[in-house]
């Protein structure tokens, strides 16, 4: 059976203020890279009111939204453009359940977090949201092309074109 080559997908990861404050940025990036995912762009920033409203618009009517907004504005966030075959699903699997107390051991949240709101990381939930979120946080696109040597090291030629 022959597998058709697949192009690389991309997704957004946000390393939230709690992870930054706990010194876990390197640990999280290491886990993504160790899995074979490619870091194509990275930037740090502090959320503004406008950016919180835009990124978390789907939560705006929820009772906990003010707490989420305050938390996301409380410190530095690191945005990461991550690429790989089936990147959205692979990263979501690595992240674990939103409620970190329910996240499986071996996931980022399962190993490193214990809270629902202080859960270290955001990852796009679908290819369409990944595209919109990447455009929001990286309007000029990724800062680096996919490194062919890194792609060959992580994937067979049949898996990634």
E strands within the chain? 9-15, 38-46, 76-84, 121-123
The catalytic residue among 16, 31, 55, 122 is 122
The SS3 of residue 76 is strand
b/e per residue, 38-58, with b = 16+ CB within 10 A? bbbbbeeeebeeebbeebbee
Cα separation, 18 vs 52, in Å, equals 16
Cα separation, 11 vs 80, in Å, equals 8
Q: Is 122 a catalytic residue?
A: yes
Active-site annotation, residues: 122
């Amino acid at each position: 059976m022959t597998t058709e080559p697949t192009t690389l997908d991309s997704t957004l990861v946000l390393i939230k203020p709690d992870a930054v404050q706990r010194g876990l940025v390197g640990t999280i990036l290491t886990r993504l890279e160790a899995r074979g995912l490619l870091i194509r762009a990275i930037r740090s920033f502090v959320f503004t009111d406008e950016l919180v409203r835009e990124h978390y618009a789907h939560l705006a009517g929820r009772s906990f939204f003010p707490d989420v907004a305050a938390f996301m504005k409380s410190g530095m966030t690191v945005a990461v453009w991550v690429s790989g075959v089936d990147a959205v699903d692979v990263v979501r699997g690595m992240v674990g359940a939103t409620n970190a107390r329910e996240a499986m051991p071996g996931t980022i949240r399962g190993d490193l977090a214990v809270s629902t709101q202080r859960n270290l990381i955001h990852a796009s939930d679908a290819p369409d949201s990944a595209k919109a979120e990447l455009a929001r946080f990286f309007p000029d696109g990724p800062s680096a092309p996919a490194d062919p040597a890194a792609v060959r090291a992580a994937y067979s030629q049949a898996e990634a074109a």
